Amino acid sequence: MKNIALTFDDGPDKFTDRILDLLQKYNFKATFFVQGNKIASQPETVIKAAKLGNEIGNHTWTHARISELSAEDAEKELRQSHNEIKAAIGQPPVIMRPTFGDAREPLPSIARNFGYPLINWTVDPMDWEENSTAERIFSTITAALKAGDIILLHDPQPATAQAIEQLIPWFAENGFNLVTVSELLPEFFEPPQPGKLYGTTVV
């Protein structure tokens, strides 16, 4: 089996449960980089994701661009989300995804204080674009997928929810196994280092 990591940003949202059910059907795991200020509206979804063995990562409190904030405000964005995740699932997140993929300072320094490696991606089907379709998402991801890839998706997007219905069976049929980011990193990168970026450098 070829291990890959499927990741979702900006949830929890209305399609997250649908994604979780499909992952469970195939005994796959994913990583959900959640936005802290959304958890209170759907705590049961985040709890469900964790109980099913999926990983919950920090994606800031309000989806702010951290490089444009003071160190104090940036730390607050991470801290509030960190605490909200811990309160919901009983354990703190151990990884985070930079908003907009922007891993410039002060994020690396603050992430080190939390013990977070910074996780971007290697495959981006641009599912957040207005003209995105399930067919385009599917074809972009499957075109050159290889073991060790980290796929970026967004659970609030309806086209993504539709694409997942095709992608999950395709992964299984083509010998891919979905694991969490924390499981993938030691196999294809290195034991994760706090404050270090893994995946595409965006800016």
Model pLDDT for residues 87-129, shown as the tens digit of each residue: 999 999 999 999 999 999 999 999 999 999 999 999 999 999 9
Out of 9, 10, 124, 149, which one is annotated catalytic? 9
Question: Is the per-residue pLDDT at 81 higher than 80?
Answer: yes
CA distance 135 to 104: 33
Question: Is the per-residue pLDDT at 203 higher than 80?
Answer: no
* Known active-site residue 154: yes
pLDDT band at 202 (very low <50, low <70, confident <90, very high): confident
Q: How many CA atoms lie within 13 A of 68 on its CB side?
A: 7
| 186 close to 192: Cβ distance less than 8 angstroms | yes
pLDDT at 1: 87
Out of 124, 127, 154, 155, which one is annotated catalytic? 154
CA distance 129 to 107: 26
- Which residue has tokens 């811990």? 86
Radius of gyration of the chain (CA): 16
* Known active-site residue 10: no
